[in-house]
């Protein structure tokens, strides 16, 4: 008879994962709460300078709205003229690369971490996220670990990208499914 296995979180061990020094992470936590999560601090230019100070690569003309949560700025790259909407969460346990002219709408979640549910120890899994130029991630949508969104693709409102999105593709649903090609007029 097979003995049923079960999750045992007491065996969880992510000692292999090192996102930076504890001092750097603690200092960033304070800055993130004071300037990024704060709904009363709307100044994008100062936010961009703070991100650069912590090692992020930030282009020109980047707009970061209030109440944005960023886990590790030293694992973040944002291209020129990109917009990040209110309450976006960049949970970048891995590298997040965001191209030029990208729009992350309100409440978007970029999740680089997950857990291996097949293991009793519930091991941490980390995957990088790439959003190429011109991508639009609709409000309250989720991009999962290891996903790439090709140039000018769209993930519509409340959708979940569990697989790569094709260039100029419009996707919707959970999991997101291809709907049609995006036509960009001049």
Residue ranges per structural domain of the chain: 20-181
Contact 56, 79 (CB under 8 A): no
Q: What is the pLDDT of residues 116-173, one digit of tens each?
A: 999 999 999 999 999 999 999 999 999 999 999 999 999 999 999 999 999 999 999 9
What is the rounded CA–CA span in Å between residue 105 and residue 89?
A: 11
Report percent pLDDT > 90 for the chain. Answer: 96
Res 5: pLDDT: 84
Residue of 3, 21, 17, 2 whose CA lies nearest to 125? 17
Give the tens place of pLDDT for each residue, 129-145.
Answer: 999 999 999 999 999 99
CATH class of 20-181: mainly beta
How far is the C-alpha of 184 from the C-alpha of 186, rounded, in Å? 7
Q: Do the Cβ atoms of 171 and 179 come closer than 8 Å? A: yes
Q: Do 82 and 100 form a contact (C-beta atoms < 8 A)?
A: yes
User: Is residue 1's pLDDT more than 60?
Assistant: no
pLDDT (0 to 100) of residue 55: 97
Stretch 102-111: mean pLDDT, rounded? 98
4: pLDDT confidence band, cut at 50, 70 and 90? Answer: low
């Amino acid at each position: 008879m097979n003995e049923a296995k079960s999750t045992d979180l007491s065996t969880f061990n992510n000692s292999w994962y090192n996102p930076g020094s504890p001092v750097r992470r603690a200092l960033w936590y304070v800055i993130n709460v004071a300037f990024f999560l704060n709904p009363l601090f709307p100044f994008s230019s100062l936010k961009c300078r703070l991100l650069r100070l912590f090692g992020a690569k930030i282009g020109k003309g980047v707009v970061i709205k209030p109440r944005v949560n960023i886990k590790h700025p030293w694992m973040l790259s944002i291209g020129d003229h990109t917009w990040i909407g209110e309450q976006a969460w960049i949970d970048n346990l891995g590298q997040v690369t965001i191209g030029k002219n990208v729009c992350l709408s309100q409440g978007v979640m970029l999740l680089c971490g997950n857990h291996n549910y097949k293991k009793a120890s519930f091991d941490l899994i980390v995957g990088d996220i790439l959003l190429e130029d011109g991508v639009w991630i609709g409000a309250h949508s989720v991009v999962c670990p290891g996903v790439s969104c090709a140039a000018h693709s769209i993930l519509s409102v409340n959708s979940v990208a569990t697989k790569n999105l094709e260039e100029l593709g419009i996707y919707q649903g959970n999991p997101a499914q291809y709907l049609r090609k995006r036509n960009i007029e001049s």
